């Protein structure tokens, strides 16, 4: 079955880059996602990458995908205190009924220090 | 911007009581989902719903759980007889399905079973 793993914590200084890593198991995953969860809030879709891409950049966010190693990373440039949150990696599998099921990682708690 | 809304944001109940969590998905979406997140654990898939029936469910979604779309706008999750281990954050999500299948999540309903 699908499984997604992430490191639990990351601490960076404001202004530095953050790199959050994720590994997944399902080689048939077509889309991989990054969600952000602020304290007490829901899951906010940050960005996603299609499996035939190696990289996707969206303003301060860069997603790198190594499909051979099933490794996904999220780089946040110029990290700000407002970036402090839990970041979830998720892989998507298509359900037989046509919907999509996400398998989430454990989440990485990003702490940004002044 | 369209969003998924959930009520209540927090519910406290006694063990054995029935609970109904409510969601209003994005209006043109076709697939509806419930996920849950026990404190400190992964976000887990519970069930997907399409065309007025369950299209897939996980092992967690046993006979104590049911879902319904009673009126074309609301999507509900009912827990018939709550247990302590049902305490969690429950997230509703919706998607168009197919290739354009990004899941959009609500802010969650926190259920506390005493």
Reported as a single tens digit per residue, the pLDDT across A61-99 is 999 999 999 999 999 999 999 999 999 999 988 777 777
Q: Which residues of B touch A103 (CB under 8 A)?
A: 45
Reported as a single tens digit per residue, the pLDDT across B52-103 is 999 899 999 999 999 999 887 899 999 999 999 999 999 999 998 766 578 8
HSE-CB of B50 using CA atoms within 13 angstroms = 18
- CA quadruple B38, B44, B50, B53: dihedral, nearest 10: -70
Which residues of B fall below an 8 Å CB-CB distance to A?
31, 33, 35, 41-45, 48, 50, 55-56, 91, 93, 95, 97-98, 101-108
Nearest CA distance, B80 vs chain A (angstrom): 24
Reported as a single tens digit per residue, the pLDDT across A17-39 is 999 999 998 777 778 999 999 98
CB of B98 within 8 A of CB of B38? no
Q: Which of B24, B103, B104 to mutate to test the interface with A (most CBs of A within 10 A)?
A: B103
Cβ–Cβ of A45/B104 closer than 8 Å? yes
Q: Which residue shows structure tokens 């989440």?
A: A107
Neighbouring residues of B53: CB distance < 8 A, sequence distance ≥ 6 = none
């Amino acid at each position: 079955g699908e499984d997604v793993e992430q490191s639990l914590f990351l601490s960076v200084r404001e202004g530095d880059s953050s790199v959050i890593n994720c590994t997944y198991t399902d080689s048939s995953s077509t889309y991989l996602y990054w969600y952000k969860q602020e304290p007490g809030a829901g899951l906010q879709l940050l960005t996603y990458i299609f499996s035939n891409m190696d990289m996707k950049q969206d303003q301060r966010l860069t997603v790198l995908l190594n499909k051979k190693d099933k490794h996904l990373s999220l780089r946040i440039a110029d990290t700000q205190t407002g970036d402090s949150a839990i970041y979830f990696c998720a892989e998507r599998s298509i359900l037989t009924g046509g919907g999509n099921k996400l398998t989430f990682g454990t989440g990485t708690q990003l702490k940004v220090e002044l | 911007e369209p969003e998924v809304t959930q009520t209540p944001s927090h519910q406290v109940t006694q063990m054995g009581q029935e609970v109904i969590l409510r969601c209003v998905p994005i209006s043109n979406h076709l697939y509806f989902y419930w996920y849950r997140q026990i404190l400190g654990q992964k976000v887990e898939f519970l069930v997907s719903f399409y065309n007025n029936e369950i299209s897939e469910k996980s092992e967690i979604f046993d006979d104590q759980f049911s879902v319904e779309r009673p009126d074309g706008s609301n999507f509900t999750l009912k827990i018939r007889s709550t247990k302590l281990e049902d305490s969690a954050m429950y997230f509703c999500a919706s998607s168009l399905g197919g290739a354009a299948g990004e899941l959009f999540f609500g802010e969650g309903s926190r259920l506390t079973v005493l």
